[in-house]
């Protein structure tokens, strides 16, 4: 079932337009300059909630990606579809410097040739999925229904990882509850820390903002 769904998404439900969208959605490095600018603007112009959102988001993504996902990838050691199977479409942005210039170039599409002899499996969990789903959940915690639009982006990124041949559907589907569970745990811990220590270290800020997030 996993393989059938992968081949449907990766090889049947495709188009040149989707190739471009999915390759762009999977390429965080191409969007890095925009991310940096947005973060700097929010820190400069934003209030407590916006800055607290960015700090909380950064910490949670760092833990979920750098620790949780990193450990699981090495322990599970599952090969990616394009590593274990022939003729999986590998859809990527073209190489370009600066990297963001690749967004304006034709997408590269090639068929995989499996070479399992020296493969280091990194298919589970999906780092892109755990990161974007974590960000979306943090956005909802801080902004309520207004932050729910982030799940549209997270869903697109998660789907793109299957479309581009980078992950099995089961990798993505099981990563979503993993992201939710871990993120909710860190949000609860962050809220407890703010309630317990916020007034001690940032008394004026804590008086004006007794709640870390409102949703």
Encode pLDDT of 16-37 as tens digits: 999 999 999 999 999 999 999 9
Write the CA distances from 167 to 27, 156, 201, integer angstroms: 14, 14, 43
Unique residue bearing structure tokens 């949000």: 187
- 3-state SS assignment for residue 58: helix
Q: Which residues of 129-159 are buried (b: 16+ CB within 10 A; e: fewer)?
A: bbbbbbbbbbbbbbbeeebeebbeebbbbbb
List pLDDT tens digits, range 66-122: 999 999 999 999 999 988 889 999 999 999 989 999 999 999 999 998 765 556 678
Asked if residue 1 has pLDDT above 90, the reply is no
Is the CB of residue 83 less than 8 Å from the CB of residue 121? yes
List pLDDT tens digits, range 110-166: 999 876 555 667 889 999 999 999 999 999 999 999 999 999 999 999 999 999 999
All structural domains of the chain? 2-208 (1.20.144)
Quote the pLDDT of residue 114: 75
| Higher local confidence (pLDDT), 214 or 205 | 205
Quote the pLDDT of residue 115: 67
């Amino acid at each position: 079932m996993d393989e059938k769904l992968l081949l449907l998404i990766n090889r049947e439900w495709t188009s040149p337009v989707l190739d471009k969208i999915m390759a762009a959605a999977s390429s965080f490095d191409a969007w890095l300059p925009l991310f940096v600018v947005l973060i700097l603007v929010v820190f400069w112009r934003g209030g407590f909630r916006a800055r607290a959102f960015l700090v909380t988001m950064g910490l949670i993504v760092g833990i979920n990606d750098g620790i949780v996902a990193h450990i699981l990838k090495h322990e599970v050691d599952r090969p990616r579809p394009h590593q274990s199977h022939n003729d999986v479409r590998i859809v990527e942005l073209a190489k370009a410097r600066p990297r963001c210039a690749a967004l304006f170039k034709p997408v590269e599409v090639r068929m995989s040739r499996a070479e399992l002899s020296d493969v280091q499996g990194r298919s589970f969990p999906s780092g892109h999925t755990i990161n974007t789903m974590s960000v979306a959940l943090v956005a909802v915690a801080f902004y309520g229904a207004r932050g729910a639009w982030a799940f549209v982006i997270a869903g697109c990124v998660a789907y793109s990882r299957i479309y581009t041949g980078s992950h099995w559907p089961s990798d993505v589907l099981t990563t979503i509850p993993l992201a939710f569970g871990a993120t909710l745990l860190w949000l609860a811990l962050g809220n407890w820390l703010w309630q317990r220590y916020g007034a001690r270290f940032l008394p004026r800020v804590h008086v004006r903002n007794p709640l870390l997030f409102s949703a």
